[in-house]
Structure 1
Amino acid sequence: MHELPLTRDLVLIGGGHSHALLLKRWGMKPLPGVRVTVINPGAIAAYSGMLPGFVAGHYDRDALELDLMKLARFAGARAILGRAMAIDREARLVHVTGRPPIHYDVASIDIGITSDMPDLPGFTDYGIPAKPLEAFATRWETFRDRARSGAPVEVAVIGGGVAGAELAMAMSHALRNIATAQVWLIDHSEILTEMRAPTRRALLKALGRAGVRLRPQSKVVEIRPDGVSFADGTTLGAQFVLGAAGARPYGWLGDTGLELHDGFITVNPSLQSSDPRIFAAGDCAHLAHAPRPKAGVYAVRQAPILYDNLRAVLADGTEKADLLPYHPQRDYLKLISLGAKAALADKAGIRLSGPAMWQWKDRIDRNFMRKLKELTPMAPPRLPERVAQGLREEVEGKKPMCGACGAKVGGDILQRVLSATPDTERPERRDILHLAGDDAAILTHGDTWQVASVDHLRAFVEDPVLMTRITATHALGDVWAMGASPQAALATVTLPKMSEALQESWLAEIMAAARDLFADEGAEIIGGHTAMGAEFSIGFTVTGLVGNPITLKGARPGDRLILTKPIGTGVMLAAEMEMKANGRDMEAAYRSMVQSSGEASRILDFAHAMTDVTGFGLAGHLLGICRASGVSADIRLDDIPVLPGALDLAKRGLQSTIYPANRAYAAEYEGPEGPRADLLFDPQTAGGLLAALSPMRTEKCLAALDEAGYQAAIIGEITESVDGETRLVVRE
């Protein structure tokens, strides 16, 4: 979080090469007072320069992927995983699918280009465009692995430019050991017409050596499940159809009111659009003063100019800041992959080819990626020489405190503090029942039962909307765990230091997200409280209505235990804070955290006992049921669903800061040690429901949960206590 007050919003739309490099520079030298936001459809952006090498099999998937989540964390920026679809320039708002609009003072657009191919009949169903690169890489991996198992292997690449030729040769190389494999390169015109004649001849020979068959002057009219149909009535069999032609700008740019050239954003030498508060770079931009072809080299070299000019405008506060011009080179070095570990180099009429050119290209590409992957977090400031006794031990050698449930007070401390008042009842009025350790208090109003609870989380992501959705889902977990229907909520928001304009935009995003989420669950926000503080935190006091509350007390020997969500959010968030988590895995973790447990609660309405798995971890919350019910539990470690990446992080020794307290709190644990067992004590944020229910209902409930989209599992059963002692027996 930010130490100095925030006064300006910089919004980066898209995760292209220019913005990725800008984030790295910003993390090394930020402009104090600026909140940076990067918007991208996914957590991962692929580097186009290494894509042919990946397709050919020379690189693994990780080599060509840029982790925007890590870059954002390094830059102190918030990463919003969504697709920008409009800009309201008058209100200075960016509209993103599925969330409230985002305010900007200055914006930059680097969204690359898309493909005309989806306009081709059948392409959306049976083809795949080369861009976005991440989706293509995933589809190709699946097809290649299936082809090696003996499936039919015919590939059609539509688009006879350099990109199509590179990918066709790469595919042919990857499939070279499959006798039936055939790769076609198709174009409505001639192949490689944009190249100089000598370079074109060299590449055509390379295509022939790679075994790629050419079909020029062939207009494709339809993509079918079994191949491609042409305007002359002929067909071509293909199980994988790639679209590498018809690159075009995204259509929504036409509605921005910005000056465009053939749909691309026209920019001046300072990379400003016709609106001086909006910059653009990379393939989506048109350099009016020096038009150039679409190539990654220009995006890379625009990055330092863009960085300096954005800082200048944000610091100056006007459009008349002293800005640097970008002057692109007239020609650039083209290094074209030839399928095998060979490449062709072309610049200013000079051509060289062979393995040495591949080694040169490989070194350039790896160095570029290394710049964006080697991210060293800033070291905390050193303590002065004289400090209070005990402070040095509390600070030095300890990792920063986790957010969310990793920042909770330990269960043993809470148990000692609260042990003096284990139950709360008012017999004379019979209106409050609060069982020690239960998820929520139970209030009575005549014949109506109401449950009430509160949760408050220290922020662990920079995005207030995502933080709001996770916190609201987390708070409602107590209501759902008692089988209640959400009724009302009070919001408590502490904002970090910022200008009044940013206070308004933050609160607008927070309240819009909260209203939508609670409304979807049948509840209303009825008020709240705001304050300014050292860091962002948010909480909700929630109520719900229920006919027959489900409590911790009620589990019976023989009951089966169902868990409705995978575990691992604590170690994932701890790793993300240290920039050690994979962005794609974090994306999955956030999806799990915002998944409502409302439908799961309704499906588990017949549970004998139920809780939500949160700060004390799966072991702690299961023991809560066992202690209250006077029973024990027997669970199977391998049956417990785990979030992608969580076990690998646990194997690397990563833990949430509250892990030791959770381990101490679960004293009745009897079972194996090791990384998978450690996840039982991992604090969960917005975790799933844990229910004990009759064996006769278990399979039916599990099927219903699966149909509703939950990654649920039967993880064990309730057993008899031995001599009145609760035990948690864990088996591998």
Structure 2
Amino acid sequence: MQALPSLSKDIVLVGGGHAHALVLRRLGMAPLAGARLTLVNPGTTAPYSGMLPGHIAGHYERDTLLIDLHRLCRFAGARLIDGRATAIDREARELVVETGAGLLRLGYDILSLDVGVTSDMPALPGFSEHASPAKPLDAFAARWEAFATDPGAARVVVIGAGVAGVELAMAARHRLAAGGAAPRVTLVDAGAALTALGGAARARLFEELRKSGIALVEQARVERVEADAVVLADGRSLAADFVIGAGGARAQDWLAATGLALNDGFVRVGADLRSVSDPAIFAVGDCAHFEPDPRPKAGVYAVRAAPVLEENLRREVAGTTPLQPFRPQRDYLKLISLGEKAALGEKLGLVASGDWVWRVKDRIDRAFMRKFTDYPAMAAEGVHDEPVLCAGCGAKIAPGALKAALAELPTPDRDDVVSLPGDDAAILAMEGDWQVITTDHLRGFTEDLALMTRIAAVHALGDVWAMGARPQAALASVTLPRMAPPMQARSMREVLAAASAVFRAEGAELVGGHSSMGAEVQLGFTVTGLRTEFPVGLDGAQVGDALILTKPLGTGTVLAGDMRGQARAEWVAAALASMARAQGDAARLLSTSHAMTDVTGFGLAGHLLAICEASGLGASVKLASIPLLPGAAELAEKGVRSTLWEENRLAVADRIALPAPAPAAADLLFDPQTAGGLLAAVPPGRASKLLAELEAAGFTAARIGQVMAGEVFVRVQ
């Protein structure tokens, strides 16, 4: 029997900068045996800095300059953690990450930093409240887009007259003028402008600023930023509707507390790109200070460092010495945008400018971005004789086969065990209380173990919530891929910490379980809950009841699209966030419903028909009222479906009427949901109040239809 490959080293890449993005692409082309790759980044996309001025000027759509880190990590076989690194515990070899669910401690054997710099000026009064730092780039681009669509008087002040500040000033002026405004753009600097350039290039840019009508204020220190002005130390006030901070690259503040050797806040690295004070940590890009030959902060050095970093990661995992040295070039071609589709180029003192230089720059930039849209190994993804097997609830056994098997189970002989038709949870009679017990597990569909655990826990709690019970206790069932014992310990800590947090937040305790190794991650939980009244079932719906759904549909379709490389990063992120959203608050609000279920593997249509069948009634649903996850409708239009979709549709085809012709969104009625919403039948007079309370609690809830008299049948309008 062939042994499964074993993982022995954890490589954690912190930051989705240019170097790390290229390293991941290279590792996707030639995987690194024995290593588990993790990328930690605040967000699932990373902007390419070379195209930012073009975006600000209106030449590129925002998506054009965003690297889809989710797709990149899937290509590289890496897990993506959406969170911000805040500390490094070097003694424990753990990275502390701030995520939406709280702090996460990630163990590492090798850590690499590519976290860039910031243009934030927290010490400048009023900057945090009234200005936008140019870095991080993604947040700045979003703020600029919002302003440029309604610029008011279009008065822009750029603090910092280096190359980046000049590019942004000219780009802002072009965009606002093209939109019909009469922009007033001012560059202000505490010293002299454009000192990083040679004389000829500097003179050419000064002339471009003059022709553009951009005011340049040099040798002027900014005293404070106000809501509508930048106030200088000499008392002058520069009127401003939008203030850009481009006053030099500053190191990320959290690096100061790492204990690493730093130079002005930047991580000091040797020729091999390792920290001079900790051989387990590498640093590249703008956050690094290259000790053997200090270089300016420029993306070109990060790009050139990527192959060296990749090779040294391979040698570290293999235990091969020595590591490869990085030899940065002495000079490089500087390409500077001039606002309109023109650019200036400078190298070795030679200068050229014009629209042809822009075309050269545009070709270079687009070629770089194609590295993260054209993945050769992914071209055949999803093209198989058999469909790609979905994970999550898309991997469930077909409803018809499951129903047939369950029908052969004997009815309970025990008086204290109640089994209701169609319900997944059993009901146990206790003195003074009813206990419900249920179990569920999922095949992993995200490499982020903590996030996958939260989703699995929320999913398993669904039947307890649907019965109106209070979660009580949970047992875990964990299958991990084959890995070395230290990595097993790290992984189990991630799983158990995430699970315990979910259950404790709902008043339950994780009390034990079972673990094993296998071919892939599988996570499951057995959960109990308590209820004083008899639990809510499927069979209590009444004619006229309003049908309320607490979460949007589309998880199966988005996950299927993700597996086929057709889902955008933000769509996947939204789906994962929805699945990880606990529903205890919603369940408490809906605990007096006439009937309730959680929408999971058999889709909205299957679970609604289960209520109808148990209650002996029909239902009417308004398709336009059903909330959908971002991207779900677009993927459905393309025919993207989970592998369980067809079986779900066939199982209810004779009991559901769709409009003719049925829109593509109707396909989502049969989409298997993972950790889906609660579906409740409530008295119509209470529906509006309940919806308002659910919305106030943060749920994307909707009234999607009503229960009808007549045969067990669902009509979709």
TM interval, short-chain normalised? over 0.9
Q: Is contact 1:475–1:542 with CA below 8 Å preserved after alignment?
A: yes
Gaps of 5+ in 2: none
Q: Is contact 2:120–2:135 with CA below 8 Å preserved after alignment?
A: no
- The aligned residue for residue 231 of structure 1 is 233
- The aligned residue for residue 311 of structure 1 is 314
> SS of 1:175's equivalent?
helix
> SS of 1:398's equivalent?
coil
How does 1:454-469 map onto structure 2 within 5 Å?
A: 454-469=439-454
How does 1:460-539 map onto structure 2 within 5 Å?
A: 460-539=445-524
Distance 2:122 2:691 in 1: 39
Q: Is contact 1:116–1:246 with CA below 8 Å preserved after alignment?
A: no
- The aligned residue for residue 173 of structure 2 is 172
2:419 to 428, 434, 458: 434
2:657 to 664, 670, 677: 670
Deviates more, 1:571-580 or 1:608-617: 571-580
By how many angstroms is 1:694 displaced?
A: 1.0
How does 1:572-651 map onto structure 2 within 5 Å?
A: 572-651=558-637
- The aligned residue for residue 122 of structure 2 is 118
- The aligned residue for residue 322 of structure 2 is 322
> SS of 2:357's equivalent?
helix
- AA aligned opposite 2:291: A
Q: Does 1:719 align with 2:704?
A: no
By how many angstroms is 1:380 displaced?
A: 8.7
Write the deviation string for residues 40-60 of structure 1: whole angstroms up to 9, x where unpaired: 010000000000001111111
Distance 1:293 1:470 in 2: 44
Change (3 A) 1:619 1:310: same
- The aligned residue for residue 110 of structure 2 is 106
- The aligned residue for residue 367 of structure 1 is 367
Q: Does 1:219 align with 2:221?
A: yes
- The aligned residue for residue 343 of structure 1 is 343
- AA aligned opposite 1:287: F
1:703 to 680, 689, 692: 692
Q: Does 1:397 align with 2:400?
A: no
Write the deviation string for residues 390-421 of structure 1: whole angstroms up to 9, x where unpaired: xxxx9951222011101001111111111234
By how many angstroms is 1:225 displaced?
A: 2.0
> SS of 2:457's equivalent?
helix
By how many angstroms is 1:446 displaced?
A: 1.5
So what's the TM-score if we normalise by structure 2? 0.96
- AA aligned opposite 1:674: P
Deviates more, 1:290-299 or 1:641-650: 641-650
- The aligned residue for residue 389 of structure 1 is none
> SS of 2:526's equivalent?
strand
So what's the TM-score if we normalise by structure 1? 0.94
Distance 1:141 1:260 in 2: 35
Write the deviation string for residues 621-680 of structure 1: whole angstroms up to 9, x where unpaired: 111111111111111111111111111111111111111011112221111323200111
Q: Does 1:551 align with 2:553?
A: no
- AA aligned opposite 1:25: R
Q: Does 1:145 align with 2:149?
A: yes
Identity of aligned residues (%): 54
Distance 1:604 1:556 in 2: 15
Q: Is contact 1:50–1:64 with CA below 8 Å preserved after alignment?
A: yes
By how many angstroms is 1:204 displaced?
A: 1.3
- The aligned residue for residue 65 of structure 2 is 64
- AA aligned opposite 2:627: P
Distance 1:683 1:257 in 2: 48
Write the deviation string for residues 460-504 of structure 1: whole angstroms up to 9, x where unpaired: 111211110100010011111111111000000111111111111
- The aligned residue for residue 189 of structure 1 is 191
Write the deviation string for residues 307-334 of structure 1: whole angstroms up to 9, x where unpaired: 0011001111xxx722111111111110
Q: Is contact 2:189–2:217 with CA below 8 Å preserved after alignment?
A: yes
Change (3 A) 1:511 1:276: same
Q: Does 1:277 align with 2:273?
A: no
Distance 1:157 1:396 in 2: 53
> SS of 1:644's equivalent?
coil
Distance 2:703 2:97 in 1: 38
Deviates more, 1:131-140 or 1:246-255: 246-255
By how many angstroms is 1:240 displaced?
A: 1.4
Change (3 A) 1:266 1:235: same
> SS of 2:165's equivalent?
helix
2:303 to 300, 304, 309: 300
- The aligned residue for residue 353 of structure 1 is 353
How does 1:673-692 map onto structure 2 within 5 Å?
A: 673-692=662-681
- AA aligned opposite 2:508: A
1:420 to 383, 392, 408: 408
By how many angstroms is 1:367 displaced?
A: 0.3
Distance 1:358 1:252 in 2: 37
- AA aligned opposite 2:613: R
- The aligned residue for residue 130 of structure 1 is 134
Q: How many residues align?
A: 706
- Output the aligned Cα RMSD: 1.7
Distance 1:321 1:515 in 2: 42
1:453 to 438, 445, 451: 438
> SS of 1:72's equivalent?
helix
- AA aligned opposite 1:656: S
Deviates more, 1:461-470 or 1:297-306: 461-470
Q: Is contact 2:176–2:182 with CA below 8 Å preserved after alignment?
A: no
- The aligned residue for residue 206 of structure 1 is 208
Deviates more, 1:112-121 or 1:350-359: 112-121
Q: Is contact 1:439–1:481 with CA below 8 Å preserved after alignment?
A: no
Write the deviation string for residues 671-703 of structure 1: whole angstroms up to 9, x where unpaired: 132320011111111111111111111111111
Instruction: Give runs of ≥4 in structure 1 deviating > 4 Å.
Output: 378-381
- AA aligned opposite 2:45: I
- AA aligned opposite 1:669: I
- The aligned residue for residue 384 of structure 1 is none
Distance 2:359 2:306 in 1: 25
Deviates more, 1:72-81 or 1:234-243: 234-243
By how many angstroms is 1:256 displaced?
A: 1.7
> SS of 2:538's equivalent?
coil
> SS of 1:117's equivalent?
coil
- AA aligned opposite 2:551: K
- The aligned residue for residue 399 of structure 2 is 411
Q: Does 1:83 align with 2:84?
A: yes
Write the deviation string for residues 145-190 of structure 1: whole angstroms up to 9, x where unpaired: 123xxx3322121111110110111111111142432222121222
- AA aligned opposite 1:355: D
Q: Is contact 1:439–1:482 with CA below 8 Å preserved after alignment?
A: no
Distance 2:162 2:379 in 1: 47
- The aligned residue for residue 385 of structure 1 is none
Q: Is contact 1:448–1:547 with CA below 8 Å preserved after alignment?
A: yes
- AA aligned opposite 1:496: P
Q: Is contact 1:459–1:467 with CA below 8 Å preserved after alignment?
A: yes
> SS of 2:454's equivalent?
helix
- AA aligned opposite 2:243: V
> SS of 1:655's equivalent?
coil
Q: Is contact 2:154–2:181 with CA below 8 Å preserved after alignment?
A: no
Distance 2:619 2:210 in 1: 66
Distance 1:55 1:239 in 2: 16
Distance 2:488 2:201 in 1: 57
Gaps of 5+ in 1: 382-393
> SS of 2:177's equivalent?
coil
> SS of 2:372's equivalent?
helix
Distance 2:54 2:285 in 1: 22
Q: Is contact 1:24–1:75 with CA below 8 Å preserved after alignment?
A: yes
